[in-house]
Amino acid sequence: MFRRLSDRRESSVSFTFNGVPTMARHGDSVAAALLAAGHCSTRRTPVSGAARGPYCMMGVCFECLVKIDGRPNRQACLTTVVEGMRVETQDGAAMPGREE
Amino acid sequence: MIQNIQSAADLAPAYDLVVVGAGPAGLSAAIEASTHGLAVLLADENDSPGGQIYRSVERASDADLARMGPDYAAGRMLIERFRRADLSYARRATVWNVGPADEETCDGAHALEVGIALGGIARPIAAHRVILATGALERPFPFPGWTMPGVMAAGAAQILMKSSGLVPSGRTILAGTGPLLYLLASQLLRAGVSVTAVVDTTPVENWRSALPHLLGFATSPYALKGLKLLLEVHRRTRVIRGVTAIETVGSAQFSALRVHRGNKPLRIEGDLLLLHQGIAPNLNLALAAGCDYVWDERLAAFRPAVDVRGASSVPGVSIAGDAAGIVGAVASARQGELAGLSAALDLNRIDQGAYEQRRNELARKLARALRGRAFIEHRFRPGKRFRVPEDDGTIVCRCEEITAVKLREVAALGVPGPNQMKAFTRCGMGPCQGRLCGLTAAELLAQCRNVPPGEVGYYRLRPPIKPVTLGELAALPHTDAAIVAVAGFVERAADGAQDVTNGSHQ
């Protein structure tokens, strides 16, 4: 779905998405890293369960909400990936406090 | 030298001026005010300065600059000046409120209070003046299927290219109207992306209203740039015009776009659909601060009401750049400077003569930067049928999944404005707080009631305008009176406990 331009030379960072080890580049937002790894659907809506993915990439639409290190409702496009980060899809309404 | 604010603890309790947003308007406002000796805090939610237009330009390589073009590269100089300015900069900061100072907690000297959350802690910051430079949002573009994965805003693709060097790997379709659509098409083509088609939804009749403004445009710097862009895109990909409606095919993931024009629909296969039909002022913070706003028929959007200096209806609060009406990066910077200069005059840091000289110079530059805008606005005004979905099943509110038919049903009941419609349907009540449905909902209701959108108005927005956690709010300092009001008593620390907190206990 997205590919990295060959002239970009940022170093690699690894994180997990739904438990699966995934590579990103230094400076990527979580949303950019997920798109780069081929995931354009990153949550299911609380109303109908429809699949959604990042839409605006600038913190406006809230379509890219994911769970990060156990905390739900994080905006993936406004969060920078760091080494070892744990990212999970959010299916339906994620209630704070129900996290592990 | 710039002071980088790392945590809420680094924030001063008060500043002369708080600027919100680090795009061209915000950066310019902050630099201008700081050169006149004001204590300035610039708060921005992104990782680095530049806003959307100059995003990541500081770490762009020569190849990046060549792809994105000279208008992007121009941001470097502005950000270099910003880095050298004597002011405070809080990145990754969420500004969730701007309002009059709290009577109980304020120091009496500062008229305004700004709610900022930084690194998990919220803080009220006092200010004499606030400049909102919150920029613009891409207009909502509701049609059947615009919510499915594989459909994104054109600006999103630009952000991915600027900040991560990511470009679409498959067949890419662009749809909509406006100069940015063609700019993105040329940037993608230059990066070697397979752009299958540009589906141009610009209404043909726009020429009629645009024509009287052609001379101003032809003599502006926009003309040559625009022409080159159009030629480049036309030469390298297929441009489809005269489009009356679009919809996606399938349901789970974007795979094709159906394009209606004339009497036979066209099917275009693709892996990614990028949408754009212009940008509109980002209103949320201005409206939550209580600023008056108006419907701008030419922009087909609401914008805050401001005077020539950028002053809003709320004393001490100014608005600069695209947040006050769409003007582009160069004019935004001049408006930011004018707002910063006005703050310096209001706070007596500059004498009247010096102020007038600088103001006249900036006003001249602003007028030059605005030349040609009228033509662009008329020429690329998105059509009504793409602003208010005719198809009843189209989702208007993405968060709460409210369709056009549901809103029309409620409109038929005689609701006076979008707030009542929101209460009836939850349209605009989701996490995006109406940013992706507000314009559509207001125009749909106005159409049903047969009145101008200005008469039905916009959502009533209240702080917090961005999600703030209970933990962040709990970290706010509270007065004894406030604690007594909730808990009934105030817990006083014993002497020993105080010793422990001071670190002097053995």
Residue A58 forms contact with B (CB below 8 Å): yes
pLDDT in tens, B419-445: 999 999 999 999 999 999 999 999 999
pLDDT in tens, B319-368: 999 999 999 999 999 999 999 999 999 999 999 999 999 999 999 999 99
Calpha distance B404→B391 (Å, rounded): 7
Backbone angles phi, psi at A6, to 5 degrees: -70, -20
Question: Is the ipTM beyond the 0.90 threshold?
Answer: yes
**The pairing of beta strand B40-43 with beta strand B88-90:** parallel
Per cent of chain B over pLDDT 90 is 84
Contact A99, A72 (CB under 8 A): yes
Search chain B and give the residue with CA nearest A42: B149
**The pairing of beta strand B14-20 with beta strand B121-132:** parallel
Q: What is the pLDDT of residue A96?
A: 61
Residues of chain B with C-beta less than 8 angstroms from the C-beta of A12: none
pLDDT in tens, B122-164: 999 999 999 999 999 999 999 999 999 999 999 999 999 999 9
pLDDT in tens, A18-47: 999 999 999 999 999 999 999 999 999 999
pLDDT in tens, B5-62: 999 889 999 999 999 999 999 999 999 999 999 999 999 999 999 999 999 999 999 9
Confidence bin at B498 (pLDDT 50/70/90): very low
The answer to whether the Cβ–Cβ distance between B401 and A25 falls below 8 Å is no
Q: What is the pLDDT of residue B493?
A: 57
The answer to whether the Cβ–Cβ distance between A2 and B166 falls below 8 Å is yes
Mean pLDDT in residue range B403-409: 98
Residue A95 forms contact with B (CB below 8 Å): no
Residue A90 forms contact with B (CB below 8 Å): no
pLDDT in tens, B247-296: 999 888 999 999 999 888 999 999 999 999 999 999 999 999 999 999 99
H/E stretch holding B230: helix B221-236
Calpha distance B10→B234 (Å, rounded): 52
Residue A23 forms contact with B (CB below 8 Å): no
Search chain B and give the residue with CA nearest A48: B401
Residue of higher predicted confidence among B450 and B500:
B450
Coil, strand or helix at B148:
coil
Match 């941001």 to its residue by tokens: B75
Which member of B63, B161, B163 has the closest CB to residue A27?
B163
Residue A82 forms contact with B (CB below 8 Å): no
The CB-based long-range contact list for B72-75 (8 Å cut-off, 24+ gap) reads B72/B162, B74/B329, B75/B24, B75/B50, B75/B329
Q: What is the pLDDT of residue A97?
A: 56
